[in-house]
Amino acid sequence: MASTETLVAVGGTQRELSREGPVALPLVDAAGLSRRARARVPLPRAVRRLAGPAVVLLVWQLLGSLGEIDSRVLATPSQVFAAAVELGRTGELADNLLASLQRVVEGLAVGVSLGVALAVVAGLFRLGEELVDSTMQILRALPALGLLPLVIIWFGVGEEPKVVLVAFASAFPVYVNTYAGIRGVEQKLVESARVLGLGRAALVRHVVLPGAVPGFLVGLRFALTSAWLVMIIAEQLNATSGIGYLMNQAQAWYRTDIIVLGLLIYGLLGLTADAIVRLLERRLLGWRRGFDGA
């Protein structure tokens, strides 16, 4: 009868016991393999995140250089860069960019403040919910750009309509997510705070509002995106400055390089705003650990 073969770990190696005697086999270091596998990607995460856009730009430039894409229809990245240098030299780019930033900042300040205030009223008080929430849900269904003719009648064709549209578009994401964050605070935390003797004001300050911060930050990210989307259209109608105005002027001269430059600027501004909110999340929600991806 054949003898049974077994594996025995001895002194950092595996020994196979067989009829021929013990044979030493090296142990597999799983942790070492994992470290070596991770070491195969030495590039920082930020660089790897930019790999996708870089590939798109390279393919885009290659197709344009080969004549597969007509520059009159879509300018190449090199032409867009040349347009940025040209407008930067004349000062047009900086002036129009500052005008757009000022409108967005003013509109966000009004919209975010209003959204948070209404969310607190509706989230903390049942009467506030009955009076505020249904109205906000009706207004939220209205398209912001559909209000443009009415806003122009009310406020004229100056800066006010653009700021009002940004405020209108940014208030609702903040309201909805902050309200959901307030009402989503765990009941166990509320009951524990009451057992410890916290009054209503202390309960709101130390439990409810901190618990609503994640929802507020989600709403802020959506609000920033909505603000730039509205601004793209608002600045192309009855405007004398701004990135949207610059794009509208370029359309008359078929300057697709300037049009694409404006779109890229809007995209970069949105990406920068999202990065700022991510930084706030890391600072304010450092205590919360979530799934970072496999």
Q: CA triplet 34, 37, 43: central angle to 5 degrees?
A: 125
Alpha-carbon span 185 to 200, nearest angstrom: 15
Pick the residue with more confidence: 7 or 250? 250
**Residue type for position 64:** G
pLDDT digits (tens, 9 = 90+) for 247-260: 988 888 888 999 99
The pLDDT score that the predictor gives to residue 261 is: 94
Pick the residue with more confidence: 285 or 267? 267
Torsion angle defined by CA atoms of residues 165, 260, 265 and 213, in that order, rounded to the nearest 10 degrees: 60
The pLDDT score that the predictor gives to residue 259 is: 92
The pLDDT score that the predictor gives to residue 4 is: 46
Structure tokens at 248: 């509208």
pLDDT digits (tens, 9 = 90+) for 211-233: 888 889 999 999 998 898 888 88
Structure tokens at 111: 């919209």
pLDDT digits (tens, 9 = 90+) for 82-97: 999 999 999 999 999 9
Percentage of the chain beyond pLDDT 70 is: 83
pLDDT classification of 10: cutoffs 50, 70, 90: very low
* Coil/strand/helix, residue 106: helix
The CATH 1.10.3720.10 portion of the chain extends over 76-284
Residues 6+ apart with CB under 8 A from 279: none
Centre a 10 Å sphere on the Cβ of residue 105 and count the other Cβ atoms it contains.
Answer: 13
Average pLDDT over residues 197-208: 74
Residues 6+ apart with CB under 8 A from 89: none
Q: What is the DSSP letter of 26?
A: E
| pLDDT surpasses 90 at 106 | yes
Cβ atoms of 162 and 235 closer than 8 Å: yes
Q: Could you tell me which CATH number the domain at 76-284 has?
A: 1.10.3720.10
Average pLDDT over residues 42-48: 74
Residue located via tokens 């439990």: 207
Cβ atoms of 129 and 184 closer than 8 Å: no
Q: Which of 53-57, 218-222, 228-232, 288-292 has the lowest mean pLDDT?
A: 288-292
Nearest to 110 by CA among 167, 179, 170: 167
192-to-31, 186, 210, 215, 244 alpha-carbon distances in Å: 42, 10, 15, 22, 52
Alpha-carbon span 219 to 102, nearest angstrom: 21
The residue length of the chain stands at: 294
Nearest to 14 by CA among 23, 4, 5: 23
pLDDT digits (tens, 9 = 90+) for 58-70: 998 899 888 888 8
Cβ atoms of 216 and 174 closer than 8 Å: yes
β-partners of residue 6 are 17
Phi-psi region for residue 12, left (φ > 0), alpha (ψ -120 to 50) or beta? left
Helix, strand, coil share (%) of the chain residues, nearest 5: 70, 5, 25
